[in-house]
Amino acid sequence: MTHDELIKYGVKWLKRQQGYKYTCPIITTELVTGALEVPDILGFSQSHSVLIECKVSHSDFLADFKKKHRKQLNGKGLGTYRFYLCPLNLIDVNEVPNDWGLLYCHMLGGGSYQKITIAKEPMTHNYDDTRIEEYYVLYSLLRRTKHHETG
């Protein structure tokens, strides 16, 4: 499974969360903005946001803890809810930080069908801790939309 495939499956899962607490009608992937981090998947609703970091190797997961923005933001990054998404059992639930959730991507039928399950629910991050970084992302999305509409 590739990183791009995992992102595609994660977006599909987030779109299907209608009526569930992770519902996000606005979803962006790998968006580079003025924010310190570049999220693999970031979804927004009127009341919350969901960050999903996709990991296809265990070493990539461990490297995530060393990223400058994880240390610099000290928990004040993107996402009211924060998840890691990986192939089934790549990351052990006990390795995931207490405030993060874990999603497993199951490949069934020779890779022709996938489903995502929640292995660990995330804690809710305070809006005051996510607001500034999310403003950068939302402003960038609006600016790009405005630019696209006017040519």
**Which pLDDT value is given to residue 92?**
97
Domain count, the chain: 1
Task: Please state which of the ranges 29-33, 77-81, 90-94, 97-101 shows the lowest mean pLDDT.
Answer: 29-33
- CATH number reported for the structural domain that contains residue 75 in this entry: 3.40.1350
Output the average pLDDT for the chain: 81
**Residues 104, 86: contact at Cβ < 8 Å?**
yes
**Which pLDDT value is given to residue 3?**
94
The pTM assigned to this predicted structure is: 0.82
Percent of the chain with pLDDT over 90: 40
Q: Which of 148, 132, 146 is nearest to 36 (CA)?
A: 132
Q: Mind giving me the DSSP string for 67-89?
A: -HHHHHHTT-SS-SEEEEEEETT
Domain limits at 95? 3-150
**Which pLDDT value is given to residue 44?**
86
**Which pLDDT value is given to residue 150?**
47
Residue 67 CA to residue 7 CA, distance in Å, equals 20
How does pLDDT run across 96-121, given as a tens digit for each residue? 999 899 999 998 776 656 789 999 99
Residue 91 CA to residue 88 CA, distance in Å, equals 8
Sign of the Cα torsion 135, 141, 144, 145 reads negative
